[in-house]
Amino acid sequence: MNSDTPKNPQRSSAGGPPPTSAAQDKASEPDWANGLRQLYDEVVEEPLPDSFRNLLAQLDSKD
Amino acid sequence: MSDAKRTAAEKADFKRELTEVVPHLRAFARGLCGRADMADDLVQETLLKAWAAQERFQPGTSMRAWTFVILRNAYLTDMRRNRFRGEYDETVAERVLTAPAGQEEPIHLSDMHRALLTLPPERREALLLVGAGGFSYEEAATICGCAVGTIKSRVGRARAALNSMLSEGNIPQRSIDDHGAHRAILEELDEVAAGQGGSRA
């Protein structure tokens, strides 16, 4: 098992359970679970409103 | 962080990374507070705070995780000031999410969103981070400032609640529309903000 490579030294000394990830739960996800990602991804893919472009453009002068 | 002041190149890098995470901040904020206009206000507030605090950012670490911490803290503060009341955003598309095999009504994306907004804030944010944002439990725990086990427990409870609401079609029309519920949420928020949320997950 090479998934235990101590990339993160905090983990190797703990001897606890292996790192977990959301992906491991995927098999047991109910049908609606991808709706959460849809809600999120839908916003991520929206074009950025001008108000954000303006705000970002003004940041440099805020020092 | 050896120098207190960042060079121009470092500032440019910071700004580029900050710009890249804006869509993710908007998505996280929308999930937390429901309404698009309030969510965007929250993101703008977050961007200004992040810019002001940029010398505390460690280059090479996750800008998304760092800014999410700022955003959630701003959200908790605003929530305590009663700015957000888990209002449902009517603009979410009435898209069919699942079409059950039987005779039941299909689940819509708007049902999902409404159900999400009925969850206590700390469970909602845990589920958003892990189930929508794709963070690991460890990353989500760091963002929320609590133990990994606490995050797992919150995600588990959030999933169970959504499962029950969505599979039974038992979704409240309004999430927070009575004083008792609102007060209970504010009390929970105080615990979460004080870092004690872990004791009861």
Instruction: Specify whether B119 is located in the same domain as B165.
Output: yes
Domain ends where: B56, B80, B104?
B80
CATH number, domain of B116, equals 1.10.10.10
The pLDDT-based confidence of B185 (bands split at 50, 70, 90) is low
* CA distance linking residue B128 with residue B32, whole number of Å: 8
Spell out which residues of chain B touch residue A44, defining contact as CB-CB under 8 Å. Answer: 23-24, 26-27
Instruction: Specify whether B100 is located in the same domain as B166.
Output: yes
Residue of B15, B48, B132 lying closest to A40 (CB–CB): B132
Lowest mean pLDDT among B1-10, B47-56, B169-178: B169-178
Whether residue B86 lies inside any domain: the answer is: no
Across the range A39-54, mean pLDDT stands at 93
* CA distance linking residue B111 with residue B108, whole number of Å: 5
In chain A, which residue's Cα lies nearest the Cα of B5? A63
Instruction: Specify whether B155 is located in the same domain as B109.
Output: yes
Q: Is the pLDDT of residue B8 over 90?
A: no
Express as a percent the part of chain B with pLDDT over 70.
70
> Are residues B28 and A40, on separate chains, in Cβ contact within 8 Å?
yes
User: Å from B152 to nearest chain A CA?
Assistant: 10
Whether residue B27 lies inside any domain: the answer is: yes
> What is the pTM assigned to this prediction?
0.72
CATH number, domain of B26, equals 1.10.1740.10
Instruction: Specify whether B112 is located in the same domain as B75.
Output: no
> Are residues A43 and B27, on separate chains, in Cβ contact within 8 Å?
yes
In chain A, which residue's Cα lies nearest the Cα of B166? A32
Q: Is the pLDDT of residue B165 over 70?
A: yes
As for how many domains chain B has, the answer is: 2
Per-residue confidence (pLDDT) for residue A10, from 0 to 100? 39
Lowest mean pLDDT among A9-18, A47-56, B39-48: A9-18
In chain A, which residue's Cα lies nearest the Cα of B6? A63
Spell out which residues of chain B touch residue A55, defining contact as CB-CB under 8 Å. Answer: 44, 47-48
Sign of CA dihedral B162, B167, B170, B173: positive
Spell out which residues of chain B touch residue A53, defining contact as CB-CB under 8 Å. Answer: none
> Are residues B113 and A62, on separate chains, in Cβ contact within 8 Å?
no
| pLDDT, greater one: B187 or B177 | B187
pLDDT digits (tens, 9 = 90+) for B125-163: 999 999 999 999 999 999 999 999 999 999 999 999 998
Instruction: Specify whether B100 is located in the same domain as B172.
Output: yes
Whether residue B184 lies inside any domain: the answer is: no
Per-residue confidence (pLDDT) for residue B39, from 0 to 100? 92
Instruction: Specify whether B166 is located in the same domain as B113.
Output: yes
Residue of B15, B133, B138 lying closest to A40 (CB–CB): B133
What rounded mean pLDDT belongs to chain B? Answer: 80
Using the CB atoms, write b or e for B155-182: b if 16+ within 10 Å: bebbbebbbebbeeeebeeebbeeeebe
Instruction: Specify whether B103 is located in the same domain as B51.
Output: no
Instruction: Specify whether B102 is located in the same domain as B158.
Output: yes
Residue of B51, B152, B162 lying closest to A59 (CB–CB): B51
Q: Render B83-122 in DSSP notation, one character per residue.
A: -------TTS---EEE--SSSSPPEEHHHHHHHHHTS-HH
Q: Is the pLDDT of residue A25 over 80?
A: no
Whether residue B123 lies inside any domain: the answer is: yes
Whether residue B35 lies inside any domain: the answer is: yes
Per-residue confidence (pLDDT) for residue B190, from 0 to 100? 63
Across the range B5-24, mean pLDDT stands at 91
Across the range A9-36, mean pLDDT stands at 54
Instruction: Specify whether B107 is located in the same domain as B54.
Output: no
User: Å from B7 to nearest chain A CA?
Assistant: 13
Q: How far is CA B83 from CA A47, A58, A62, B77, B159, in A?
A: 26, 26, 27, 9, 26
Whether residue B105 lies inside any domain: the answer is: yes
Across the range B174-200, mean pLDDT stands at 53
Instruction: Specify whether B105 is located in the same domain as B59.
Output: no
Per-residue confidence (pLDDT) for residue B34, from 0 to 100? 81
Per-residue confidence (pLDDT) for residue B69, from 0 to 100? 96
The pLDDT-based confidence of B13 (bands split at 50, 70, 90) is very high
E strand or H helix at B68? helix B63-80
Count other C-beta atoms under 10 Å from residue B121's C-beta: 22
Whether residue B196 lies inside any domain: the answer is: no
Angle subtended at Cα A57 by Cα A54 and Cα A62, rounded to the nearest 5 degrees: 110
Instruction: Specify whether B56 is located in the same domain as B13.
Output: yes
Whether residue B68 lies inside any domain: the answer is: yes
E-strand ranges in chain B read: 96-98, 107-108
Per-residue confidence (pLDDT) for residue B104, from 0 to 100? 54
Across the range B164-193, mean pLDDT stands at 62
Instruction: Specify whether B121 is located in the same domain as B60.
Output: no
The pLDDT-based confidence of B29 (bands split at 50, 70, 90) is very high
pLDDT digits (tens, 9 = 90+) for B59-114: 999 999 999 999 999 998 887 776 555 454 555 545 555 555 554 556 777 888 88
* CA distance linking residue B18 with residue B22, whole number of Å: 7
Structural domain span for residue B111:
96-177
Spell out which residues of chain B touch residue A21, defining contact as CB-CB under 8 Å. Answer: 136-137
In chain B, which residue's Cα lies nearest the Cα of A43? B27
Residue of A20, A32, A44 lying closest to B112 (CB–CB): A32
Per-residue confidence (pLDDT) for residue B181, from 0 to 100? 52
Angle subtended at Cα B183 by Cα B180 and Cα B188, rounded to the nearest 5 degrees: 125
Domain ends where: B80, B110, B140?
B80
